[in-house]
Amino acid sequence: MRHLAHQVRYPFGEIDLIMVDAGVFVFVEVRMRASPAYGGALASVTRSKRRRIILAARAWLQARGGPEPACRFDLMAHECGQWCWVAHAFDETGR
């Protein structure tokens, strides 16, 4: 993967990392939790948070112009001292 941007902010949402992987744009949400209480880092990405990430990704893609490329949404979570990368964590519909 190659890094394109980080901490891309819009009034309606933010993208932590934007990467490209074999021609696919990867929008990555990075979450950290010191404790797994309340569901931990992975569970903290709610439907509302996913929706805001999707809106920000659409805005970023639109600002680039050109045809809409393939993209995916990944999660990178740090819990209890370990990193976990979840590729294809959700899709454009937020599921």
Q: What DSSP line would sit under 27-46, residue for residue?
A: EEEEEEESS-GGGHHHHT--
Three-class secondary structure of residue 53 per DSSP: helix
Residue 38 has pLDDT above 90, yes or no: no
Highest mean pLDDT among 25-39, 49-63, 81-95: 49-63
Task: Report whether 91 contacts 75 (CB < 8 A).
Answer: no
Average pLDDT over residues 56-79: 92
Q: Cα–Cα–Cα angle for 62, 20, 8, nearest 5°?
A: 50
User: pTM to 2 decimals?
Assistant: 0.90
Dist CA 49 CA 39 (whole Å):
15
Residue 44 has pLDDT above 90, yes or no: no
For residue range 22-32, list pLDDT tens digits in order. 999 999 999 98
